[in-house]
């Protein structure tokens, strides 16, 4: 009787061990990457859409900051340009995946296993890439002010009309440049009398006398705002 009871206990232990192994194998099978991509498709798809929408909003914000910087004649930083190029590429590629998601609308049980696994895997990969892009979009600034390019004013005696009126005008302008309460000087006269040449002579003297670090010159049309 005792022997029979020991045999029964061994058989029960063997059966329990076999059952445990079976459950363990099933758990391993259902946590495999293939089945994980299949059964977690809904969550993966939702995360993908949320992250992609967030990336589009971030891209729009950075582009707005870039537009402002460009209007202020700033140089756009290289890392900002590279980030925008990468975002444009990812949004273009992920649009294909989003279109594929929208084409097939049905429950998870009516989808092809291979299709679900493939799409879910691609969505997960792209979500990871998008997340990394979102982590690197907090730029201190998108641009920096371009250094002013000084103009080398080369005025010859032939160019500058060394007349009494031009010498008087040049003297008045130089005095005005040195005056602390003057912040704008206007020079007017008939066309061809040498206003531009006089302005260049002023720029040349201003640099020689170190009144300014840089002297720039530009043409403004009559229709400018």
Whole-angstrom distance, CA of residue 177 vs CA of residue 201: 13
How would you classify residue 132: left for phi > 0, otherwise alpha for psi between -120 and 50, otherwise beta?
alpha
Question: CA 75, CA 144: separation in Å to the nearest integer?
Answer: 5
The C-alpha atoms of residue 165 and residue 195 are separated, in whole angstroms, by 12
Please check whether residue 216 is in contact with residue 150, taking contact to mean a CB–CB distance below 8 angstroms.
yes
DSSP strand E in the chain: where? Answer: 74-76, 143-145
Of 130 and 109, the one with more pLDDT: 130
What is the reported pLDDT for 201? 84
Q: Tell me, what's the pLDDT at 15?
A: 39
What digits encode the pLDDT tens for the residues 55-67?
A: 999 999 999 999 9
pLDDT, mean of residues 73-81? 91
pLDDT of residue 179: 84
- Using CA atoms, how far apart are residues 20 and 25, in angstroms rounded to an integer? 9
Reported confidence tier of residue 36, pLDDT bands at 50, 70, 90: low
Question: Do the Cβ atoms of 202 and 171 come closer than 8 Å?
Answer: no
Cβ(170)–Cβ(198) below 8 Å? yes
pTM, two decimals, is: 0.52
């Amino acid at each position: 009787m005792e022997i029979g009871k020991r045999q029964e206990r061994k058989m029960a232990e063997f059966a329990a061990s076999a059952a445990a192994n079976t459950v363990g194998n099933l758990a391993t099978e259902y946590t495999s990457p293939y089945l994980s991509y299949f059964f977690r498709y809904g969550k993966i798809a939702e995360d993908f859409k949320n992250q992609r929408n967030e990336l589009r909003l971030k891209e729009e914000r950075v582009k707005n900051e870039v537009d402002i910087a460009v209007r202020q004649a700033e140089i756009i930083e290289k890392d900002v340009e590279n980030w925008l190029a990468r975002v444009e590429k990812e949004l273009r590629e992920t649009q294909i995946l989003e279109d594929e998601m929208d084409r097939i609308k049905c429950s998870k049980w009516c989808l092809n296993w291979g299709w679900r696994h493939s799409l879910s895997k691609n969505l997960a990969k792209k979500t990871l890439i998008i997340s990394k892009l979102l982590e690197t979009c907090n730029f201190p600034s998108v641009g920096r002010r371009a250094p002013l390019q000084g103009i080398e004013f080369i005025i010859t005696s032939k160019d500058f009309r060394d007349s009494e009126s031009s010498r008087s005008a040049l003297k008045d302008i130089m005095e005005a440049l040195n005056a602390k309460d003057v912040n704008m000087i206007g020079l007017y006269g008939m066309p061809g009398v040498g206003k531009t040449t006089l302005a260049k002579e002023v720029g040349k003297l201003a640099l020689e006398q170190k009144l300014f670090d840089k002297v720039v010159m530009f043409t403004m049309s009559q229709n400018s705002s």
